[in-house]
Structure 1
Amino acid sequence: MSLQTLFLDIGGVLGTNGWDTAARQRAADHFGFDFAEFNARHKRLFDQYETGHLTLAEYLRGAVFHVPRAFSEAEFTDFMRQQSVAWPVNIAFFRELKQQHGLRVFAVNNEGRELNDHRFATFGFGDLFDAAVSSCYAGMRKPDPRLYRLALDLSQTPAADVLVIDDRPEFTEIAAALGLNTLRYESLAVTQTALTEQFDLS
């Protein structure tokens, strides 16, 4: 097997899942509003935000600021950004792997534009990713197989020469059905072992 390209998820692989259920619960606790109502509104709106059809301000107006609040949109946005925490050791590992093996690396991730831009501005991705096939730019989100097909088109790499690394099994299953090699991320140590034993990358 001759791998040429990695398709990496970001949240859960290179850093925290920035706006998952736990982060939303923390927001409700921190700002003192009802989580259940917020989460119900979030679920109706977030797919549209992640696929670039809503701005962050529009999502927040629908999910949080549909009623007067004692805190500002700017304060809430800052809190959201704080939930995105990089894992520098992981980022450094994949950067070194790319350099050692001459790989191309593409981000294939679900994220809203403003949060995605924040991660790219602060996580030090400049010399890691060759391109970002992010849901907010592509207008579609995993598990839609079209996102992987788009990434294949943009990378101009045969599916058999691509490795997808993602922490969500439902996403690696979709990628595998398209003929891509897949590896579910569990920890950096497990990933390093699998890359060495299964793909001869160390």
Structure 2
Amino acid sequence: METRQRITTLFLDIGGVLLSDGWDRNARKSAAQKFDIDHQEMEERHRINFETYELGKISLDNYLKSVVFYEKRNFNIDDFRKVMYSASKPFPEMLTLFKTLKEKYSLKIAAVSNEGRELNEYRIRKFSLDDIVDSFISSSFVHLRKPDMDIFQMAMDIVQGTASEILYIENQPIFIQNAEQIGIRSILHHNYRDTLVELIGFGLEPFSSDCGLLTEEVTLIT
């Protein structure tokens, strides 16, 4: 029977796993409606500019000047930035889950995410992500962006871990597939319960059965 190497390190996506996406299509549509902006034109300008912002090559203000404030508005950039930030919401069960696993198994945790600098820094502070995450390999910090496989190699270099010791939790299949090409085991995240069951299958069981872990979930992997 094959024995899996013990997991010592977790790579976590932020948007879609720990928190809501920071600035997704729905958030942009809502902001366009709130400020009475042409949504279609805003989307086209976003498409052209956002990758550059996520790579850390332009500031959030420069992104917004190109996407929203390319003409005179009856609101200011601070007003818009506040609405943009307010779209971020926590996933409390996921935050608690990974905090518990970190403490129980002395795991190293790195966030490997595509996020613009200002938005990323706001989300780290607002939701105290640095209480859980040891290293932030954010696209705007390292100037690499998933699906570029170099970002995973850089993350391994930063945490000083080998692929066989790492488990990556992500909600985008293409990023999972790329990480697996270099030997990183992965969980495609859909929801809390499914991810919890898969984590237990990797030997990372956060709770005993009398502390909230569902009996039927344990049964599935034993």
TM-score, length-scaled by structure 2: 0.89
1:7 correspondence with 2:6: no
1:159 correspondence with 2:163: yes
Deviation at 1:125, TM superposition (A): 1.4
Encode CA deviations 1:1-46: one digit per residue, 9 max, x unaligned.
Answer: 2111000000100110010111111111111111111100001000
Aligned residues: 201
Q: Distance in 1 between matches of 2:77 and 2:29?
A: 17
**Structure 2 matches for 1:70-81, cutoff 5 A?**
70-81=74-85
> After TM superposition, where is structure 1 displaced by more than 3 Å over at least 4 residues in a row?
none
Largest Rg, 1 or 2: 2
Higher RCO (C-alpha under 8 Å, 6+ residues apart): 1
Encode CA deviations 1:150-193: one digit per residue, 9 max, x unaligned.
Answer: 00110110101101100111110110111100111111110110
1:102 to 101, 106, 109: 106
Aligned-residue sequence identity (percent) comes to: 37
1:114 correspondence with 2:122: no
Unaligned runs of at least 5 residues, structure 1:
none
Q: Distance in 1 between matches of 2:138 and 2:155?
A: 9
Q: Distance in 2 between matches of 1:52 and 1:33?
A: 26
Task: Name the amino acid aligned to 1:46.
Answer: F
Deviation at 1:89, TM superposition (A): 2.0
Q: Distance in 2 between matches of 1:162 and 1:30?
A: 42
Deviation at 1:127, TM superposition (A): 2.0
Q: Which residue of 2 aligns with 1:19?
A: 23
Q: Which residue of 1 aligns with 2:204?
A: 201
Q: Distance in 2 between matches of 1:107 and 1:142?
A: 12
Encode CA deviations 1:92-131: one digit per residue, 9 max, x unaligned.
Answer: 1100001111110001001000000001101121221111
- Across the aligned residues of Structure 1 and Structure 2, the Cα RMSD in angstroms comes to 0.7
1:168 to 168, 172, 181: 172
Q: Which residue of 1 aligns with 2:208?
A: none
- Could you say what secondary structure the match of 1:78 adopts? helix
1:46 correspondence with 2:50: yes
